[in-house]
Structure 1
Amino acid sequence: MINIKNKKFWFTTVAVLAAPAILNFTIFQFTTPWTYGDGDEWLSFWGSYSGGLISAYVAYFIANSQIKKQVKIDQYTNYVSQLPALMRIQMELKRYLTDIKEVQKKRSYNVTKFSSSGEFNRIEDEKTLEALVQAEADSKRYEIRTFDPNLFNVLEKIEDTELHLKLISCFQFYEDFSSIIVTDIEILEERKTKVIDKLILKGESLDMCYVNDEVERIDSEMLHLLSKRDDVWKTFDDENMLDKFEIVLLEVMNEIENIKRAKDTPSQA
């Protein structure tokens, strides 16, 4: 790529174009053993050479100008083509944000309910009591809209890398969050109770190894679910995900407005 702002470029250009004049004022003014042809022939050669060089420069500048124009057109086209994807993302973010707020509202209600239930009255330490109440509320099942994995494909159209990464973070959290808090741990507890009841009723007629394995498997599944649920709620609180979703939604809305303005004034895009 020729850089016309580079001093070497202009030095070389001047040197090549000045060569015929220099030759005319030097060796072609004298007859020397190493001079082949007369001055007119050499000047004709250098005239053709410099003319070809100028033509090459002109062709390059025209081509370079066309390439730059095409790059701007492509950038503008890619920029405005994000609009449908951003509109879809905005719609889904609003839905997810509404669902998260509703879950948070129910979670707060459960905290209040368990605090006033008297179930934990025997706990004297205030911090321990608060932690137990919160853990009980977080262990409950909450209804929430499931995540649409096709949204990750929609994200590929987003040009802004920083916004792209923020959206991936939000959607990845929501996918994990929504898949975990909808799982009902009470169903696992009921299955475990049924296995134990069956053992009590049928006694020795049951395969004890099978029963023990089944109980251990259910216990392991319950612990795993509780652990994952603790993790997503911890992320929700520590990273202030509710505010994060609202900030990202605002950025998406701003980007949509910027693209709409760019479409109205394409010459300024």
Structure 2
Amino acid sequence: MFKKIDRRIWIALGLILIFPIIFNYTFLQFSVWGVVGDEDSWISFWGNYSGGLISALVAYIVAKTQVKKQYENEMSSKRYTEFISQLPSLIRTKIELEMCYQNLLEAAGYRDGFIQYLMTVEYANEDLDDYADDIEVDKNSQSLTLQQINANSFELINDFFNTDLSIQVVSFFNFYHRFVKALAYEDNFRARDMEDTYFMGEKFRLWNKFDNGNVLDEVNKLIEDLNKEIQRVKIAKETGSIPPQ
């Protein structure tokens, strides 16, 4: 289906081609009052007139096509430049995610070790079923200092070409930032205030998401996706065009 502008062009061409027939059956076949000139002069005039119109129309079509092609080339060049310029941000974000993954493994290992301590030392001589709730609270309430993500990590994501990947990385960084901040908080059991209550609740919420949300698998998947995107950029730099996903 032709676009609106294209339909107008075809209509104009059709009118130009049909007009001689209409002109012949009106002005040339009959004597029309007020029309000056014989048939030959009118045919000569019409030939010059229609030739000028057709030339102008052809020039318009050519110019329009060239402008459109130039715009498409500029947009393609801009997309290519933006695509390959994201490479440093992709690499730095991948390094950041790998750091987060190792820290999460450390946190999970620390908690597993503490659970083992509770079961074999703290409650060694007790019926563990009677202390299941206490163990659940204790295992998620421990404080642990982990490395926080760099302050500019979120800014790096602005360079990503893949919007879906950007959203996923932002979502994980938000979780990780909250997780590290909550784990670092030391609960004041003797004088617990609103801040203590908030951060203890935050620890339990985030540990629950960690356990039930397959966070480690999510980070691994993000690292794999970043590796794929890095390879696509390298291919683009070699070939001069953006490869398909």
Q: TM-score, normalised by structure 2?
A: 0.86
2:232/2:242 contact within 8 Å kept: no
How far apart are 1:96 and its partner, in Å? 0.9
Q: Which residue number in structure 2 is paired with residue 119 of structure 1?
A: 123
Q: 1:107 to 1:20 in 2, by over 3 A?
A: same
Q: Secondary structure at the match of 2:150?
A: coil
State the distance in 1 between where 2:36 and 2:48 align. 13
Q: Secondary structure at the match of 2:158?
A: helix
Q: Which residue number in structure 2 is paired with residue 204 of structure 1?
A: none
Q: Which residue number in structure 1 is paired with residue 155 of structure 2?
A: 153
Which shifted more, 53-62 or 218-227?
218-227
**Aligned counterparts, 1:63-102, within 5 A:** 63-102=67-106
Q: Which residue number in structure 2 is paired with residue 18 of structure 1?
A: 17
2:83/2:161 contact within 8 Å kept: yes
Q: Which residue number in structure 2 is paired with residue 32 of structure 1?
A: 32
Task: Give the one of 197, 209, 213 matched to 1:223.
Answer: 197
The CA deviation string for residues 75-134 of structure 1, in whole angstroms up to 9 with x for no partner, is 111111110110110111111111111111111111111111242754563xx6444323
The CA deviation string for residues 31-72 of structure 1, in whole angstroms up to 9 with x for no partner, is 323656623223322221121011000111111111111111
Q: Secondary structure at the match of 2:44?
A: helix
**Aligned counterparts, 1:227-242, within 5 A:** 227-242=201-216
- % same residue: 20
Which shifted more, 131-140 or 66-75?
131-140
1:103 correspondence with 2:113: no
Q: 1:3 to 1:166 in 2, by over 3 A?
A: same
**Aligned counterparts, 1:31-50, within 5 A:** 31-33=31-33, 35=35, 38-50=42-54
State the distance in 2 between where 1:268 and 1:249 align. 21
Q: Which residue number in structure 2 is paired with residue 256 of structure 1?
A: 230
Q: 1:118 to 1:183 in 2, by over 3 A?
A: closer
How far apart are 1:11 and its partner, in Å? 3.8
Q: Which residue number in structure 2 is paired with residue 142 of structure 1?
A: 144
1:28/1:39 contact within 8 Å kept: no
| Amino acid across the alignment from 1:181 | L
How far apart are 1:150 and its partner, in Å? 1.5
Q: 1:109 to 1:247 in 2, by over 3 A?
A: same
State the distance in 2 between where 1:119 and 1:237 align. 23
2:83/2:242 contact within 8 Å kept: no
Structure 1 residues not aligned, in runs of 5+ = 193-214
Q: TM-score, normalised by structure 1?
A: 0.79
Task: Give the one of 170, 178, 181 matched to 2:180.
Answer: 178
| Amino acid across the alignment from 1:148 | N
| Amino acid across the alignment from 1:114 | L
| Amino acid across the alignment from 1:245 | V
Q: Secondary structure at the match of 1:179?
A: helix
Q: Secondary structure at the match of 1:157?
A: coil
Q: Which residue number in structure 1 is paired with residue 164 of structure 2?
A: 162
